[in-house]
Amino acid sequence: MAKQSIFGRISTLVRANINAMLDSAEDPQKMLDQLKRDYANNISDAESAIAETIGNLRLLERDHAEDVQAATEWGNKALAASKKADQLRGAGNTADADKFDNLAKVALQRQISSENEAKAAEPQLASQNETVEKLKTGLNGMKQKYQELNAKAAELVARQKTAEAQNKVADAVKSIDVMDPTSDLGRFEEKIRREEALAQGKQELAASSLDAQFNQLDDLGELTEVEARLAALKSGDKPAVAAAPAAAAIDAPTAPYTPGQ
């Protein structure tokens, strides 16, 4: 029963679909390591069971060989006793001849018994040999699957690391995406754009204020000229005027200046 249980487990493990087991893994790295350990332990258990089965088979083969050898030896003893009995009987020694014939019969009985034991063991030997061969085949299949598992595990670990690196790069790129208006960089750019617009508005406002100041300077110059002319009138000097206004001034009567007016 123990041998059949081991053989059944070997057959089950050989037929196991490793890819299906990997698809259901939540953490591939841990799952693969545990799967390899379990598989290695199963191979070790199977090797121990097969070694024990082979050991029992070899014992059975030695017992069978001993039975075959014993049957041959008892046959030879029976033949020797029978010949001795014939010699004694030929010499007229009937009593001793009968003794050797009886010894020959005993040897023949022992021969038959050994032959029966050897014959009875032959089906068991055949069955055990078949079982051992199946166990060896199953063990070889397990070892082949173990190699496939190691290769598949290395491939999956490499793919997992690559996927993790790609995800990190994608997350990093997404975090600095300047086209993303919701990102910190996008908000900072919007703030700068507003400050630039404010600066432009201030510049335009400053320019308009400067024009107004120049206009005030023009008005101030006109007032200064008026004051200068007024002072000239008071002092009796004729102020310099433009041609057209001067002509008009000649035609107009000039009132005499009276101090105190």
Residue 102 maps to a domain: yes
Are 42 and 99 in the same domain?
yes
Give the domain range for residue 214: 179-237
Same domain, 145 and 211: no
Question: What's the mean pLDDT in 158-167?
Answer: 84
Instruction: Say if 17 falls within a structural domain.
Output: yes
Which of 137, 152, 175 delimits the end of a domain?
175
Side-chain-facing half-sphere of 109: CA atoms under 13 Å: 6
Question: Would residue 246 count as lying in a domain?
Answer: no
pLDDT at 29 over 70: yes
- For residue 245, name the pLDDT band (cuts at 50, 70, 90): very low
Chain mean position to CA 51: 37
Phi, psi of 109 (to 5 degrees): -65, -45
Segment among 29-33, 37-41, 142-146 with least mean pLDDT: 29-33
What is the pLDDT averaged over residues 90-119? 92
- Residue 164 has, within 13 A of its CA and on its CB side, a CA count of 9
Number of domains in the chain: 2
**116 with 209, same domain?**
no
- Do 21 and 76 fall within a single domain? yes
What are the two backbone dihedrals, phi and then psi, of residue 134, each rounded to the nearest 5 degrees? -65, -40
Of the candidates 152, 175, 198, which is a domain's last residue? 175
Q: 12 and 75 share a domain?
A: yes
Cβ within 8 Å of residue 42, ≥6 positions away: 9, 13, 142
Residue 256 belongs to a domain: no
Lowest mean pLDDT, pick from 25-29, 95-99, 176-180, 230-234 = 176-180
Contacts of 179 (CB under 8 A, 6+ apart): 186
DSSP 8-state symbol, 183: S
User: Do 10 and 135 fall within a single domain?
Assistant: yes
Whether 78 and 158 share a structural domain: yes
Q: Residue 251 domain-assigned? A: no
Q: Which of 81-90, 121-130, 178-187, 241-250 has the lowest mean pLDDT?
A: 241-250
Question: Same domain for 107 and 22?
Answer: yes
Specify whether 167 is located in the same domain as 184. no
Last residue of some domain: 160, 175, 190?
Answer: 175
Is residue 148 located within the same domain as residue 217?
Answer: no
Together in a domain, 133 and 39: yes
Report how far residue 254's alpha carbon sits from residue 240's, in angstroms, rounded to the nearest whole number: 16
**Coil, strand or helix at 93:** coil
Percentage of the chain modeled with pLDDT above 90: 25
Integer angstrom CA distances of residue 107 from 1, 71, 75, 78: 39, 9, 7, 5
Distance from chain centroid for Cα 180? 31
Is residue 167 domain-shared with residue 78, that is, in the same domain?
yes
H and E: helices and strands count for the chain: 6, 0
